[in-house]
Amino acid sequence: MEHKVSSDEKSFAELSPTLKELQISKSFKHLNELTPKEKQDFFDSFDVILCDCDGVIFQSLHDVLPGSTEAIDYLKRQGKEVIYVTNNSIIPIEAQLKKFQKCGLEVKKHEIVHPAQTISDHLKSIQFDGLIYCVTSEAFKAVLREEGFQVVEQCTTFVHSLEELRAAIYSDDPVKAVIIDVDFNLSASKLMRAHCHLKNNPDCLFIAGAADTLISLDGKDVIGPGPYISVVENTSKRKALILGKPGVALRDIFMAKYNFKEPQRGLFIGDSLVTDVRFGKMCGFQTLLVLSGSTTREDLQSNLQEMETPDYVIDCLADINGYFS
């Protein structure tokens, strides 16, 4: 597979709404307000569920939202296939599997779409062989190393002088790829170094994982990796290949990997209008927004662009338990 940023790949800034899009094209439906026939029609309209994890199943890194695992089990017993699509790369897939197992859900590795693994699979598909500079978590780097890739070793130090800044951002390392994802130890010097590698080597790959504008921490929004991806895109004049939600490149890989011939028979469940609903609509899936995570009822009253307007809304995943009882 060729590493190519397609013409329809959008930069982080282009994934944000434009003034022309700030209107609601149609209203969404609340599942709990549907008639019995409408409920049955809805339930019969999809075969595959694509489910976000944080804010839908889990309310924190480790705690399960009440009733969420029972809802997943209920959906599976109704014959629905479930694929888990997360932007959370600070928890490796093996740890994710243990989380699911601990709460009673049997999940296989191939059923989880995870930024670090997706990027690793992409690098393998293009037979990438070179040094990688990562602005990511240590867990993300560990996945790349386990897959056999070379990652630049970094010393996290404070910069106190111009000499120390030069040492931090200028390097002779033959870096062939820059990857940006969630990094809780992000610094200006890390972004400067990423910029330098991309500007000095036009053949250096620029890849991003999760592109969330905001991420949730203890129920509050904090800045996600998206704005930092945008900074490097703007300064380097390079467009990142975004392999996390809501990236166009992830959509293309995702659709090919799972061989979706009838995307309209898929239902994407998530808690974010920008990350989950937008990605679901980009893929052609139906979308269900849960209000147990980052989106509030007040958010739904604001002007929503068409690509961020869900088809259906429900308070929490637990409400699906015994849906027809």
Catalytic positions, written as ranges: 52, 54
Q: What ranges in 126-184 are assigned the alpha helix state H?
A: 138-146, 162-169
User: How far is C-alpha 324 from the geometric centre of its chain's CA atoms?
Assistant: 31
Q: Is 41 annotated as a binding-site member?
A: no
The residue behind tokens 């147990």 is 292
Distance CA 218, CA 62 (A): 12
Distance CA 315, CA 223 (A): 25
**Which residue type is seen at 206?**
F
E-strand ranges in the chain read 29-30, 48-51, 81-85, 112-113, 131-135, 150-151, 175-180, 205-208, 214-217, 220-223, 241-242, 266-270, 286-290, 312-314
In degrees and rounded to multiples of 5, residue 55 shows phi and psi of: 90, -10
In degrees and rounded to multiples of 5, residue 92 shows phi and psi of: -60, 160
User: How far is C-alpha 249 from the geometric centre of its chain's CA atoms?
Assistant: 12
Q: Is 44 annotated as a binding-site member?
A: no
Q: Is 172 annotated as a binding-site member?
A: no
Which residues neighbour 253 within 8 Å (Cβ) at sequence distance 6 or greater? Answer: 118, 121, 122, 243
Distance CA 165, CA 42 (A): 57
Distance CA 281, CA 237 (A): 28
Q: For residue 221, what are the β-bridge partners?
A: 216
Q: Is 8 annotated as a binding-site member?
A: no
Specify binding-site residues for substrate: 245
Specify binding-site residues: 52, 54, 245, 271
